[in-house]
Amino acid sequence: MSVVLGIECAASCCSAAILADGKILASEKVCLPSGYPEILVPMVQKVVAASGIGYCDIDIMAASAGAGSFTGVRVGLGTVRAMALTAGKKSAGISNFAASAFMIPPEERNKYEAILVVLETRRKDFYVQLFAPDLTPLCEPSASFVNEVSLPFAKVLLAGDAAQRFKEDSGKDFPVFTDSIPDAETIAFWTAEHQVNLPPAAPLYVSEAHVTVNK
C-alpha cells in the first residue's frame, strides 16, 4: 500500500498526517483564525520526522482542494505540488465534499436515499453537493441559499461543517452526521482508497473569491 502525506487547511483547522499500510504513523492539527501559510511547512516537517518515513518514501502527497478558505486551499495544494515535483512523486487535490461524505460509515449512509454535504461559506449561503449512499456525486457542487437547494428525496442525511446551520435555516428536521469535518487523516485515507484514479492537485472553486481590497 502506498505511503500518503495528507494535508488539510481548507476548513477551520490546519493539519498534516502520514499514512502507511492503512495506519496513521503521525499527525498534527492546529486550529487558528489565520496564519496557516506560516505553520504548514514546519508542521509537515514535524509529522514526517515523527513518522520515521523519509520524503523519498512518500508515494502520494495530497491536500484538500476545497470548497473552503481561498488562501488555505491554495497554500495546501501549492505545498503538495511543490514537494511532489521536487521528490518526483504524485500529487492530488481531494474535494472537501467527497472527504466529508467519505467520513460517514457505509452502514449509516445506507439508511438514507442521499447525503447532502454542506460546507461553510462564512456568508448567508452554503457550499452544497449531493451524493448517493455509495458516494457517487448526484450533482456538481454549488454555492446556494437554503431555498435554492432542491432535494428530490424523502430521506436525506446532512454532513459537513455547515450542516447544523443549514438545518436551522431550513426549519426542517434533517438528521445530521456530526463527525464529518475532514482533517489530514481523512484526506490521507481517501487518497489511499482512490489512488488508482486520483484527481489533480487543482483547486475546486465553487464560486468567485469573496475578497475586499484595502484602500
Nearest to 140 by CA among 111, 77, 97: 97
pTM of the model: 0.93
Q: Among 66, 55, 60, 136, which residue's Cα sits nearest to residue 92? A: 60
Give pLDDT, residue 32: 78
pLDDT reported for residue 74 = 94
Element (H, E) at 102: helix 96-102
Q: Which pLDDT tens digit goes with each residue over 67-118?
A: 988 889 999 999 999 999 999 999 999 999 999 999 999 999 999 999 999 9
Residue 102 identity (one-letter amino acid): F
What is the per-residue pLDDT for 209?
Answer: 54
Cα distance between residue 98 and residue 88, in whole Å: 26
Nearest to 63 by CA among 3, 4, 7: 7
- Of the candidates 39, 75, 44, the one whose C-alpha atom is nearest the C-alpha of residue 184 is 44
Provide the pLDDT for residue 110.
Answer: 98
Domains annotated on the chain, with CATH? 4-95+182-197 (3.30.420.40), 104-170 (3.30.420.200)
Alpha carbon distance 137, 126 (integer Å): 17
Which portions of the chain are predicted below pLDDT 50? 210-215
Cα separation of the two ends of the chain: 52
pLDDT digits (tens, 9 = 90+) for 10-19: 988 999 999 9
pLDDT of residue 213: 45
